Amino acid sequence: MEAVRAGLTRRKMLDKIFVIVGLIVMLACLAVLAVLFIDLVRDGSPRFSVDFFTNFASRNAERAGILAAWVGTTLVMVVTACCAVPVGVAAAIYLEEYAPKNWFTAVIEINVTNLAGVPSIVYGLLALGLFVYQFDLGQSIAAAGLTLALLILPIVIVATREAIRSVPNSIREAAYGLGATRWEVTKDHVLPYSTGGVLTGMILGLSRAIGETAPIITIGALSFIAFLPQSPFQSEFPFLSFKWLNDPFTVMPIQMFNWVSRPDQAFQANAAAAGAILLGMTLLMNGVAIWIRYRFRKKINW
């Protein structure tokens, strides 16, 4: 008994040490992020104004803005979400609920997991050959959105699968016992209970895509642009237009890269302001993901 008690005491001590070390590492990472964010805000604070959001890029640093960049970023994210989310969720549902457990699906699962760690420049090179040249989409918003959709697709699949796995099998068995089909079980029970995790994975994937630069540069995004893509809305029926998908574009990381490469200190301040805004958007998206997960978990009573 003495040896057992001594072993339990040692394990509890090791557990406390591990928690303390993990807490210190987390706080250190948060401190670095806070210092970076505060430094960006301090350097870019003179440029925070309405004009900075409503002006196009300019050779004059005091009159330069991020209008084309944030509009282009928004449109690219819309295309990315519309392409990656349905395909990723459908693939995850198939792998978890429908696919037989054999060597073929095991190979697919391994490759999906590995694709999540592939460098983003590889996706850019793939998109350059496939979307830009083979499909003749050119340097367009559609090509950029499809490229980033490929980039975050493995993240969406993995996150959705984990959310589906968190649903207890007893719920499925109860539904099957009442005569429900596999699709009815998936649609009425599995997906509603896993929605929080699915949305969280989607937002985290988009949070990564919004800051990507390498694949966007590879497919030929413009670094200086003084016009907006065509509006997605029109006054005549059907009130939606998709001509903007073929328009050239720029995004906020590209605009920041353009400003940072210039020696003028005023452009450095512009880049810092744009970086603070981009980082704030990313933190906001991650905060929304945490809030969504919390709200959905409160509604689940197992």
Question: Which of 46-55, 57-66, 236-245 bottoms out in mean pLDDT, i.e. has the lowest?
Answer: 236-245
Read out DSSP for the chain? -HHHHHHHHHHHHHHHHHHHHHHHHHHHHHHHHHHHHHHHHHHHGGG-SHHHHHPPP-SSGGG---HHHHHHHHHHHHHHHHHHHHHHHHHHHIIIIIS-SSHHHHHHHHHHHHHTTS-HHHHHHHHIIIIIIIS---SSHHHHHHHHHHHHHHHHHHHHHHHHHTS-HHHHHHHHHTT--HHHHIIIIIHHHHHHHHHHHHHHHHHHHTT--HHHHHTT--SS--SPPPPSB-SSTT-B--GGGGS----HHHHHHHHHTS--HHHHHHHHHHHHHHHHHHHHHHHHHHHHHHHHHHH---
pLDDT given for residue 25 in this prediction: 93
Q: What angle do CA 246, 247, 253 make, to 5 degrees?
A: 115
pLDDT in tens, 51-79: 888 888 888 878 888 888 888 888 888 89
Flag whether pLDDT at 184 surpasses 70. Answer: yes
Residue 80 near residue 209 (C-beta atoms within 8 A): yes
pLDDT in tens, 76-129: 888 998 898 899 889 888 888 888 888 888 888 888 888 877 888 888 888 888
pLDDT given for residue 302 in this prediction: 59
pLDDT given for residue 69 in this prediction: 86
Residue of 208, 204, 203 lying closest to 148 (CA atoms): 208
pLDDT in tens, 197-227: 888 888 888 888 888 888 888 887 777 777 7
Tokens 């993240």 correspond to what residue?
A: 155
pLDDT given for residue 227 in this prediction: 79
Q: What are phi and psi of 240, to 5 degrees?
A: -120, 140
pLDDT (average), residues 167-180: 84
Flag whether pLDDT at 229 surpasses 70. Answer: yes
